[in-house]
């Protein structure tokens, strides 16, 4: 980074630091904002390139004299948090971003970082419920299954192979990656970005609830083949655990999964769902809860970092979504 600082184009070997340096110098000398677009197909290296750009901008605009957690530290530590909840192993990449990200870094009149905002879009919700070999679900599920023993017992978790949302693929571990260590690292990063212990506990309670929710299965109601009921005692256990973790009433949760509500001008009508409808209802709830959790995380990080209303200049870094071609793409 020291070598590339203020070096002219062509003086050093090609590097993303050059792009960041040009954007920063243009902002300082011309007083105008710039954006850097990081594009490429899945596995091209967009996420790592984006982290390098952010590290370099933090190096140029950092405040070494500041006490406590600096804005640039919080911006950089937001990466492992968002990766834990928004990245997954795909067929071509062990740490693929399954969402788009625009990081807006604000600077004061002397070029120091004074605020930031992260905007995300297009989270791949379907991955929560449906994965194929040799891919994995979002990292956070495997991190939690590798958490310290007392947390595993508290959330009634176990081997990832025992959860429907994880065992649709035969890939559970990544070569050279320790999920237990990454769980602790994610918790430390959450501390830096301003997520309290109580909030962290609530976050992982929701993650555990989604795993239990996926293990709720349905069978036919003997008296009415068009309606569904909980399949067995195992499903009842997972429903009770889901309700406990989400702090809701288990009977109400079961009712919501097995029936749909139709509102008419005169009344509210409940209609029983068949097995297929109940599964769609279960998976829809899981996807909605997860995407709300992800959005809440981003909002929390933004509030913690804070934006500078006086800032006239910013540099935006856009990590565009990595697209792939599939025979069937929903």
The string of DSSP codes covering 254-310 is HHHHHEEEEE-SS-EEEEE--HHHHHHHHHHHHHHHHHHHHHHHHHHHHHHH---TT
Q: Is 196 annotated as a binding residue?
A: no
Half-sphere exposure of 56 toward its Cβ, with a 13 Å CA cutoff?
26
Is 46 annotated for ligand binding? yes
The reported pLDDT for the residue numbered 328 is: 67
Residues 225-284: tens digit of each pLDDT = 789 999 999 999 999 999 999 999 999 999 999 999 888 888 988 899 999 999 999 999
DSSP annotation string for 54-85 = HHHHHHHH--TT--SS-HHHHHHHHHHHHHHH
pLDDT band at 9 (very low <50, low <70, confident <90, very high): confident
Q: How far is Cα 210 from Cα 282, in angstroms, rounded to an integer?
A: 10
The predicted pLDDT at position 313 comes to: 92
61 is in an annotated binding site: no
Beta strands in 122-252 (DSSP E): 218-221, 224-230
Q: Is 119 helix (H, G, I), strand (E, B) or coil?
A: strand
* Tokens, residue 67: 């006490």
Q: With a cut of 80, say whether residue 34 has pLDDT above it.
A: yes
Question: Does 312 have pLDDT greater than 90?
Answer: no
For residues 62 and 52, what is the distance between their CA atoms, to the nearest angstrom? 15
| Rg of the chain in Å (alpha carbons) | 23
* Residues with active-site annotation: 42-43, 47, 93, 96-97, 322, 324
pLDDT tens per residue, range 43-98: 888 989 999 999 999 999 987 656 667 899 999 999 999 999 999 999 888 999 99
Q: What is the pTM of this model?
A: 0.92
Residue 305 has pLDDT above 60, yes or no: yes
Pick the CATH number of 16-150+157-193+299-319 from 3.30.420.10, 3.50.50.60, 3.40.850.10, 3.40.50.1820: 3.40.850.10
41 is in an annotated binding site: yes
Domain chopping of the chain, boundaries: 16-150+157-193+299-319
Q: By C-alpha distance, which of 224, 140, 239 is closest to 189?
A: 140
Nearest C-alpha neighbor of 116 from the set 321, 320, 295, 317: 317
């Amino acid at each position: 980074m020291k070598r590339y600082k203020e070096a002219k184009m062509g003086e050093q070997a090609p590097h993303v630091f050059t792009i960041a340096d040009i954007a920063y110098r243009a902002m300082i000398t011309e007083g105008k904002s710039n954006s850097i677009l990081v594009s490429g197909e899945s596995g091209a290296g967009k996420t790592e390139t984006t982290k390098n750009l952010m590290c370099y901008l933090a190096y140029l605009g950092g405040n070494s004299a500041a006490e406590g957690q600096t804005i640039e530290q919080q911006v950089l530590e937001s990466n492992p948090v968002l990766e834990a909840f928004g990245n997954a192993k795909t067929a071509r990449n062990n740490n693929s971003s399954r969402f788009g990200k625009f990081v807006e870094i604000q600077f004061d009149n002397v070029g120091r970082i004074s605020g930031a905002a992260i905007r995300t879009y297009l989270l791949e919700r379907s991955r929560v419920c449906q994965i194929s070999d040799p891919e994995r679900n979002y990292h956070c599920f495997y991190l939690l299954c590798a958490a310290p023993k007392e947390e595993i017992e508290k959330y009634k978790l176990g081997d990832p192979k025992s959860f429907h949302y994880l065992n649709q693929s035969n890939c559970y571990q990544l070569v050279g990656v320790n999920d237990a260590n990454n769980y602790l690292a994610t918790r430390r990063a959450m501390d830096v970005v301003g997520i309290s212990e109580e909030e962290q506990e609530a976050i992982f309670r929701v993650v555990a609830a989604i795993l239990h929710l996926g293990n709720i299965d349905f069978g036919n109601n003997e008296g009415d083949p068009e309606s569904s009921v909980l399949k067995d005692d195992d499903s009842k256990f997972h429903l009770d655990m889901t309700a406990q973790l989400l702090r809701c009433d288990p009977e109400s949760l079961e009712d919501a999964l097995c029936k749909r509500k139709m509102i008419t001008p005169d009344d509210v009508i409940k209609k029983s769902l068949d097995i297929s409808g109940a599964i769609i209802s279960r998976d829809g709830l899981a996807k909605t809860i997860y995407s709300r959790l992800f959005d809440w995380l981003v909002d929390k990080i933004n509030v913690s970092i804070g934006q500078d209303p006086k800032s006239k200049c910013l540099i935006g870094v856009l990590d565009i979504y990595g697209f792939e071609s599939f025979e069937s793409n929903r």
